[in-house]
Amino acid sequence: MKNTLPETTPFFARDREWHPPAYTPGYKTSILRSPQRALISLEGTKSEITGPVFGHNILGEFDNDLIVNYAKPGEMAIGERILVHGRVLDERGRGVEGALVEFWQANAGGRYRHKKESYLAAIDPNFGGCGRTITDADGNYAFKTIRPGAYPWPNGVNDWRPAHIHFSVFGHGFAQRLITQMYFEGDPMIWICPIVKTIPDKQAIEQLIAALDMNATIPHDMRAYKFDIVLRGRRSTLFENRLEGN
Amino acid sequence: MAQSLNYLKESPSQTAGPYVHIGCTPNFVGIEGVYAQDLGSGPMVNADTRGERITIRGFVYDGGGTALKDALIEIWQADADGFYNSPSETRGKADPNFLGWARCPGDMATGEFLFETIKPGRVPFRDGRLMAPHVTFWIVARGINLGLHTRMYFSDEEAANAEDPVLARIEHKVRVPTLIGKRDGDTVTFDIHLQGDKETVFFDI
């Protein structure tokens, strides 16, 4: 058992200049789905600084291996084998322990296994496209998958998504809840994607580009990409008479 | 130059996209055999959960009045006594038979979401005043670039709502009803409007 104090303080204010704004007309679907009134600012109460905790008991043996977790016995998903790994950190640079990380993606040809998907690329009978894991004591996570393909989507007449993996992350407080996407180093499609371009700051976009990590590559097996995810940090408790935060 | 503060930046959000179900509720879209069941699906209560059983149902509407068919809604709430089932809950121990969290994809034909839960107890605001019973909602979907946070309060809690410190912060009182779930028997109806005259109040928390 670690002797750590409960995390009882609110989170740092979210930097909404760093995130994409709600209304981004280059991404057409956002036009009618973007709130137009000012958000009501609310310093985190118990309702926001608390959050659910998920135990390792929810995980199955192959939840973190998309190459085999939907495949028939003895078979594997088709595609470039990759290991995706990294840390879930907070804005103070501390690893976030016990964070549930869920991920989903298209197959090697850029096709999702979904009822509403109509792209003509082939379905891979051995690829489902979902996985999940929980971070260790230092915030580390890892999973195996195949590199997803790029695909066209109905927005402009010729818009394509770069290869990407979706991530959903739980921290320790519900206000840290985050969904984002991981892109791949060196992909020229990143910079022409209307969804990527909803993020106004180039440095912020670069924060979502996983780097090729040859040190973590498994020789003769799979290349590795490193993708760190940063969740909001908590305010400190510097004074004993202000346990709810400074 | 001053010293660097060395804080990291929060990873920027990207939309959950149209295929959020694959990752969060795969069984719901026919990807079976990977997870035994979808996380957060089904009733939030068992026979031993304390509290008044309620069903929350509603739709998420876009600015054109069309119900979203591809939204994913998550809720987070206190137990019947106002305690959260979280390590950050320091006031007491929450009901072990109530996690307080669930997720529901909108129905693919109609867009309706539904949660079978209990009515939460009151939770104190930061200064100790009690907030009215409420359920925190988080909404993601294609076209939503950053998950939206809001709260549902209860229409049968008029007195508590009148003294709620969060509702009191809303300058335009005509918008307060957008946060009130309408209770009829055991069912509480809560529709979320992303845009337009009835736009729901969303929070920056």
Instruction: Establish if B101 belongs to a structural domain.
Output: yes
Q: Would you say residue B143 lies in a domain?
A: yes
- Rounded to the nearest integer, the mean pLDDT of chain B is 97
DSSP assignments along B29-92, one per residue: GT--SSSSS-TT-S-S--TT--S-EEEEEE-EE-TTSPBPSS-EEEEEE--TTS--SSTT--SS
Q: Which pTM was predicted? A: 0.96
Determine whether B195 is exposed, middle or buried from the number of CB atoms within 10 Å of its CB (0-12, 13-18, 19+). buried
Task: Look at residue B25 and tell me if it is in a domain.
Answer: no
**Band (B152; pLDDT cuts 50, 70, 90):** very high
* CATH assignment of the domain containing B129: 2.60.130.10
**Which residue in the set B11, B136, B148 is minimally distant from A35, CB to CB?**
B148
Is some CB atom of chain B closer than 8 A to the CB atom of A102? Answer: yes
Q: What is the CATH number of the domain that holds A207?
A: 2.60.130.10
Residue A186 belongs to what domain range?
60-243
Strands A40-41 and B203-204 come out as parallel
Exposure string for A154-179, b = 16+ CB within 10 A, e = fewer = ebeeebebbbbbbbbbbbbbbbbbbb
Would residue B38 count as lying in a domain?
no
Asked if residue A114 belongs to a domain, the reply is yes
How many Å apart are CA A48 and CA A45, to the nearest integer? 5
Number of domains comprising chain A:
1
ipTM score of complex: 0.97
Cα B134 from chain centroid (whole Å): 9
**A98 assigned to some structural domain:** yes
Is A238 inside any structural domain? yes
Q: Which domain holds residue B71?
A: 43-193
List chain A residues with CB under 8 Å of B205: 11, 42-44, 48, 175
Say if A41 is an interface residue toward chain B (CB within 8 Å): yes
- Determine contact, residues A219/A81, Cβ cutoff 8 Å: no
Would A30 be classed as within a structural domain? no
pLDDT digits (tens, 9 = 90+) for B26-36: 999 999 999 99
Q: Which pLDDT score is estimated for A1?
A: 45
B149 within some domain: yes
Domains: count for chain B? 1
pLDDT tens digits, one per residue of B71-123 = 999 999 999 999 999 999 999 999 999 999 999 999 999 999 999 999 999 99
Would you say residue B186 has pLDDT above 90? Answer: yes
Q: How many Cβ atoms from other residues are within 10 Å of residue A215's Cβ?
A: 6
Cα distance between residue A185 and residue A163, in whole Å:
10
Q: What is the pLDDT along chain A (246 residues), one digit of tens a residue?
A: 455 667 889 999 999 999 999 999 999 999 999 999 999 999 899 999 999 999 999 999 999 999 999 999 999 999 999 999 999 999 999 999 999 999 999 999 999 999 888 899 999 999 999 999 999 999 999 999 999 999 999 999 999 999 999 999 999 999 999 999 999 999 999 999 999 999 999 999 999 999 999 999 999 999 999 999 999 999 987 665 555 554
Residue B73 lies in a domain: yes
Residue A21 lies in a domain: no
Interface of B with A in 41-60 (CB under 8 A): none
A135: closest CA of chain B, how far (Å): 16
Pairing of strands A164-169, A178-184: antiparallel
